[in-house]
Amino acid sequence: MKHGSSAGENRVLAEGKYLRLVNRGGWEFVERRNVTGIVGIVAVTDSGNMVLVEQYRPAVGVRVIELPAGLAGDVAGAEGEALAEAAKRELLEETGYEARSMEYLCEGSASAGLSNEIITLFRATGLKKTAAGGGDGSEDIAVHEIPLGRVARWVAEQAKVGKGVDLKVWAGLYFTQTRSAT
């Protein structure tokens, strides 16, 4: 996932199964291996509940409240998977909701000083609960459906009891109140 102009070639410093630490022009950062994109999904049910997920994140050592999200192109045989299709797949896998459609909202850097990741946010519409959710076999995901009018207060309550909150939740809440990024 390369974006923008480069100031020199990447020099690989370390490489794991999923991540690569590189140096470009004296700056060290992380790249994901074997993915073509990252998606986040702003999902609101017809009854007005925002669908959020919660899972333990070893990097921060706590359970974190997040938008449903995931990787594109990381499934063998589907390396060319479109971002909107990845968003539909991840939403179903993590929450049990199928979406009739995915509307592109925006894209941006997750942490420009640390990673080259670009996250693309989609709005899921026409939600229908068809499975339990909870992630794939390697994940332990709890699904929360919070009335839109209570999301900000609920997220703050979760933070007070020691859970992490991914900043994309706040971006998602913004997009529940607007039609598009422009």
Confidence band, pLDDT 50/70/90 cuts, at residue 182: very low
Confidence band, pLDDT 50/70/90 cuts, at residue 177: confident
Higher pLDDT, 98 or 3: 98
Give the mean pLDDT of the chain.
91
* Rounded Cα distance, 15 and 8, in Å: 19
Confidence band, pLDDT 50/70/90 cuts, at residue 139: confident
Q: What is the mean pLDDT of residues 22-38?
A: 93
- Structure tokens that stand for 170 in this block: 């706040």
Q: What is the mean pLDDT of residues 43-70?
A: 97
Q: Please give the CATH architecture assigned to the domain spanning 36-176.
A: Alpha-Beta Complex (3.90)
| Closest C-alpha among 115, 84, 76 to residue 101 | 84
Highest average pLDDT, of 76-80, 107-111, 135-139, comes from: 107-111
For the chain, first and last CA: distance in Å?
A: 25
Instruction: Please check the confidence at residue 5 and state whether its pLDDT lies above 80.
Output: no
Confirm if 164 and 64 have CB atoms less than 8 A apart: yes
Instruction: Please check the confidence at residue 26 and state whether its pLDDT lies above 50.
Output: yes
Q: Which residues contact 65 (CB under 8 A, 6 or more apart)?
A: 52, 53, 54, 144, 155, 158, 163, 164, 165, 166, 169
What is the identity of the amino acid at 2?
A: K
Question: Does 98 qualify as catalytic in the annotation?
Answer: no
The CA angle 72-91-165, to the nearest 5 degrees, is: 95
- Considering the entire predicted model, what is its pTM? 0.89
Q: What is the mean pLDDT of residues 166-180?
A: 89
Instruction: Please check the confidence at residue 86 and state whether its pLDDT lies above 60.
Output: yes
State residue 138's pLDDT score: 79
Confirm if 54 and 141 have CB atoms less than 8 A apart: yes
CA dist 31 → 7, 176, 179 (Å): 16, 30, 32
Q: What is the mean pLDDT of residues 33-59?
A: 95
For the chain, the domains span 36-176
Catalytic residue among 85, 93, 139, 145: 139
Confidence band, pLDDT 50/70/90 cuts, at residue 78: confident
